[in-house]
């Protein structure tokens, strides 16, 4: 069993109003991650995901892979990736 990781992924492009948050929530729940996905005022979408290191790595790959192997909606043109602190006791993945 691996360690716990937490990551903040901010994606830009055609990512709002296309089902991207629904897709991210579905994938994160399948991977048993906690955190949230949120539309930001600047048109970007922020994903905060934490869980087992292998699952977090898979979420990063699924979010950024091109072409998508999971029918990810929209189009990502740019992204930022930042490791962050694990929040103990975080609950299931959801929208914000």
- Which residues are tagged catalytic? 21, 39
54, 64, 7: which is closest to 31 by C-alpha? 54
65, 55, 67, 66: which is closest to 27 by C-alpha? 55
Please check whether residue 34 is in contact with residue 91, taking contact to mean a CB–CB distance below 8 angstroms. yes
Q: What are the Cα distances from residue 20, in Å, to 4, 37, 52, 76, 90?
A: 25, 9, 23, 10, 22
């Amino acid at each position: 069993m691996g360690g716990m990781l937490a990551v903040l992924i901010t994606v830009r492009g055609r990512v709002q109003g296309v089902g991207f948050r629904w897709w991210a929530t579905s994938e994160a729940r399948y991977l048993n991650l906690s955190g949230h996905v949120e539309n930001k005022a600047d048109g970007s979408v922020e994903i905060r995901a934490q869980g087992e290191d292998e699952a977090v790595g898979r979420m990063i790959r699924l979010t950024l892979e091109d072409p998508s192997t999971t029918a990810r909606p929209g189009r990502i043109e740019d992204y930022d990736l930042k490791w962050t602190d694990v929040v103990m006791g975080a609950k299931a993945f959801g929208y914000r």
